[in-house]
Structure 1
Amino acid sequence: MSKYLLNKFLFTVDRDPELVERYREDPRGTVEWWEAEHANRLLSCHGGEASTWLRFEDAEREALAGHDYPRLFELGAHPFLTLTLFIAMFERDHEPMGFQTEYARRLAHMTMPYPDIAT
């Protein structure tokens, strides 16, 4: 499992409004496209440098494709990254602070110690 790759996906998608919409409308397609095109690009590099080995595991891919943020948290994705991205995607479907309340409700079963979010 690569918490780094999960967090990289959440981070990069959240910073591009077009990708946020693409991920909202076609989560599985966006995850597959991003994994093929962006997973191995280096965050700090603007040139052609890339790695070749980063891939999501099935559980990660399914959680991302299913917008399953409780499962992403269980897998070690950083909660601030999941919260900000999912607010961008779903806050419009709720009353003010409604999505944040839903997020907290769906994660209420989690008790300390929380999953390790270190990458």
Structure 2
Amino acid sequence: MSKYLLDKFLYTVDRDPELVERYRESPRELVTWWEAERANTVLNCLTGEASTWQRFTDEERTALIEHDHCKLFELGAHPFLTLTLFIAMFERDNTEPLEYQKAYGARMARFSLPYPDIAT
């Protein structure tokens, strides 16, 4: 398990509107592509420098594909990264102000202290 890799995925996808749309519409394809093409690049540097060892676990990959922010949190993904990305993807589907954020919080309410470790 790599909390760093989960956070890197959430961070990089959130900062690219095209990737946000691809993740919303075709999560399996985006996760598969990102893992093959971007997982081993240096963060925010696409100059060819890369490693070869980082991979999602099956559990991480499934949580990303299913947009399961609660499972991602359990796995150590930072909740602010999931919240900002998922707002970009799903807030437009709601009609009330802050409707998505309230639903996100309600689903996260089952967690109590101590929270899962989100340090990377």
One-letter code of the match for 1:75? Answer: L
Per the alignment, do residues 98 and 44 of structure 1 end up closer, same or farther by CA in structure 2, a change over 3 Å counting? Answer: closer
Q: Distance in 1 between matches of 2:87 and 2:47?
A: 31
Partner of 1:112 in structure 2? 113
- Counterpart in the other structure of 2:66: 66
Secondary structure at the counterpart of residue 96 of structure 1 = coil
SS in 1 for 2:67: coil
Query: What displacement does 1:44 show?
Result: 4.8
- 2:53 maps to what in 1? 53
State the match for 1:97 in structure 2. Answer: 98
Give the unaligned 5+ runs of structure 1: none
Query: In 2 relative to 1, CA 30–44 (structure 1 residues): closer, same or farther, beyond 3 Å?
Result: closer
How large is the Cα RMSD of the aligned pairs?
Answer: 0.8
Deviation at 1:46, TM superposition (A): 4.0
Give 3-state SS (helix, strand or coil) of 1:49's partner.
Answer: strand
Moved over 3 A (4+): none
Percent of pairs with identical residues: 71
- Which secondary structure does the structure 1 equivalent of 2:45 belong to? coil
Query: How many residues are paired up?
Result: 119
Q: TM-score, normalised by structure 2?
A: 0.97
Question: Structure 2, unaligned stretches of length 5 or more?
Answer: none
Amino acid in structure 2 at the alignment position of 1:83: L
Structure 1 partner of 2:42: 42
Which range is displaced more, 11-20 or 44-53? 44-53
State how far apart, in whole Å, the 2-side matches of 1:46 and 1:23 are: 20
Q: CA deviation at 1:33?
A: 0.4
Q: Structure 1 stretch 36-45 or stretch 25-34: which is displaced more?
A: 36-45
- Please list the CA deviations of residues 46-98 of structure 1 after superposition, one character each: whole Å capped at 9, or x if unmatched: 42110000000000000000000000011000000000000000000112100
